[in-house]
Amino acid sequence: MSEKMTRRDALKLGTSAAVTATVSPLLPSAVNSTGTVSELPRSGPTVMLPAAENEICFMRAVDILSLLRAKKLSSREVMQAHLKQIARVNSKVNAIVTLVPEDQLMAQALAADEAIAKGNWLGPLHGMPVGVKDLHETKGIRTTHGSPLYKDHIPNLDCLVVEREKKAGGIVIGKTNVPEWGLGSQTFNPVFGPTLNPYDLTKTCGGSTGGGAVALACGMVPLADGSDMGGSLRNPPNFCNVVGIRPSPGRVPNPPTNLGWFTLSVDGPVARNVADCAFFLSVLAGFDRRSPISIDQPGGQFANSLAGRDFKGVRVAMFKDLGLPWEPAVRDAVKAQRNVFEALGCVVEEAEPDFKDANECFLMWRHWSVELGFGDILEANADKLNEYVHWHVQEGRKLTGPQLSRAEAKRTELYQRVRQFMEKYEFFLLPVN
């Protein structure tokens, strides 16, 4: 099968089978005797035991956890399956850039198995491998930010996101690739090079959570965390046919940070399906007093089922065009979902808020924040920071107080327009990027 495959082709074939087709030279066991790719079975109401190791790697995370709790699958089996998948596939796509040593991972998996044998469930991520974005500080595990300045950096603490993953019983399997300093919509850096799209190795996987999205699509991890300033939890999952969500600012606090009131950057989950993404969000979300904008609500609400929710009469807005050019296939794929919502009883109308000044405000505050973060570093390490960082710093230094105050006033006006719009509609449907 050709290495070039559209995501629409992938949906027809089945996600796991499509990825397997692209990386088939490394996955001979996935091809049957006729030379065609066998689609992995999908999980139904009853969780079936996997027939082979590579099936574990494409199961829903919530189903793996159900089997672990029922003692029908061990954490060691889960970990071993993912380590073998990484060995088969990662060299072709370069998604996981720092892998925790196998003996350490298997020791943690053994500890999870021994705990459940004694009746101790470690938490909602009991014994599950988790891929951690290489911007997130991980105690004792190299965290490079994709920068030569940090290529050997080993933190002595975990950021809150990783802290919560571990407290929930998760096992950090390794670090996933990012653009340098997480800046940009493509995933490549001078430390590890590029991460490739698993559906077409000649194409981008998006960024900045590109490594996490690719690792999920290839079955190398069941869950991956990420972060988002301008699309980084949205466009890599979009490009790689997985699922990400940008939570509201403060929903997933992630100290330490020197910009406690900043709302552009957020952290959140990536998964292969909506159920896993919502479940992972329930683990990551929750109040923390170290963040002044932290939302004082528990994350457990996101693990609740929508069964029983009556959508009859719920008003839903379907985007028109947002004043932007659209590839017809993208536009039509989203608009076709109108029938799904109408079948639920929703009232769907074409409508969209006025996003005037949104891009101007975003760029100003992004320039400002990057200058704050890298202005001093740039003075001593100009040759070790890429042109994108240089540009942001230069633009940030041009900003004046009156410019920023007027941008903030425009952003407030934008918020009020969107608030009024969402008082009429409960949901707004549009492409993720």
pLDDT given for residue 11 in this prediction: 44
- CA 130 to CA 190: how far, in whole Å? 25
User: Both tokens of residue 156?
Assistant: 């002595």
Give 204's DSSP letter.
E
Q: Specify the residue for token string 């290495």.
A: 3
pLDDT given for residue 41 in this prediction: 32
E-strand ranges in 7-95 read: none
CATH of domain 7-303: 3.90.1300.10
User: Both tokens of residue 173?
Assistant: 């399997």
For the annotated catalytic residues, the residue numbers are: 133, 208, 232
pLDDT given for residue 45 in this prediction: 43
Over the chain (433 residues), what is each successive 10-residue block's mean pLDDT? 49 51 44 31 55 88 98 98 98 98 98 98 98 98 98 98 98 98 96 98 97 98 98 96 97 94 97 98 98 97 93 98 93 96 98 97 98 95 95 98 98 98 98 83
Count the alpha carbons within 13 Å of 347 in the hemisphere toward its beta carbon: 7
Q: Provide, for the chain, the percentages of residues in helix, strand and coil under a 3-state DSSP scheme, each rounded to the nearest 5.
A: 45, 10, 45
pLDDT given for residue 54 in this prediction: 84
171-176 vs 129-133, strand pairing mode: parallel
Sorted by where each begins, the domain ranges of the chain are 7-303, 307-433
Length of the chain: 433
Q: Residue 270: beta bridge partners?
A: 224, 244
- Return all residues near 180 (Cβ < 8 A) that are at least 6 apart: 145, 146, 147, 189, 190, 385, 386, 388, 389
